[in-house]
Structure 1
């Protein structure tokens, strides 16, 4: 007896029907593609500049002219909260109603470039191959000066590939409860740590990409979406 496959009765979800978490992961992967192209170009420019300086000084540091090493081996950045509802462009999520979902996306970067003069004859992507690590979102309830509990998945352990990928996204889901009659302010910080005593790799996000265009008002100038350096990544939760 031959059994024939019957056509599936399940229809494919439309883009607007996809769960917010799936949209967040798709968005994160699309950003990795764009960031990879930009970072590759930046690395080529830095490598060419470093080679020029090395040729001019024969690899030595001249008196009164120290070469400032600009080699970054390992770092992490993140976004401000985003709410993935409907179709893109998705809206910022820095002001969230209790019970709604928002997502913070972190991007872990590992340098793939060999630089002997900077002490990396073996690039970090090779040094970290197969190593376990942890990416975490640490949340502070500023209003009550307590640890925040809105993040569904605050700790994400993982293992580097061989070699380690130069860019990897991590999606953190925020689902705050109703705060009651008074809104609550929260701050989010991203850290990453390699789970190996002999590997001194750790970082926290000193830069985050603010997806919110602030139009400004009265005497306050407008602010375009973009990276913020050494500023707190905060969001407000209110009751509808």
Structure 2
């Protein structure tokens, strides 16, 4: 997908330079992303430093591996549970058991109850820190290679996930308005797909041709589609900007 990025970036550049109404939305998105990234980086660095001090032997690499695995587990749980049962900040012992993570971990580390329930009367919760330290404790006590064990858990959970039928495959259908905006976004993707099959842009350097080419490529690049769908559904200024771009492209295509 890396080769798809330059034409899409060029399309955004032309739109930013030529369409003043789009600039406020672009500035808003940039401010939001900058703030979120700065906060996330600081929070992550503080978390890593604290764990290294509190748990001797734990490395940055191991924390990173455990972090990725944890959020994969959270995603798996979210895909197989109702919205009320899932949470981005923790998973429960019963959820780990339900998706097969406990059984997989026990098999890999060769010991029972890798994720121990602290309170037998209540479903124990495992946040990121507890999840990582449980894995580290298991690898230390069994003299297992932490990194290899985490990678093996990744692979096993991926297979496990493919075998389970998710209750819902659409993360955007949270309410009626989200459904409406999601469908609108999907209809625009379909339009770009149809236009791309009918039109031949060649290597022309006309600015609107560059924008349309970027739209075509972006509309068939999964990561770009997902990222733009998130901001289109959740942020009204960016949704208005997206609608304006689509109307502009519709008018441009009709004249070709």
Q: Same fold (TM over 0.5)?
A: no
TM-score tier by shorter-chain length is under 0.3
Structure with more of its chain in helix, by fraction: 2
More strand by share: 1
TM-score (normalizing by structure 1) = 0.26
TM superposition score normalised by structure 2: 0.25
By relative contact order (CA 8 Å, sep 6+), the higher-ranking structure is 2
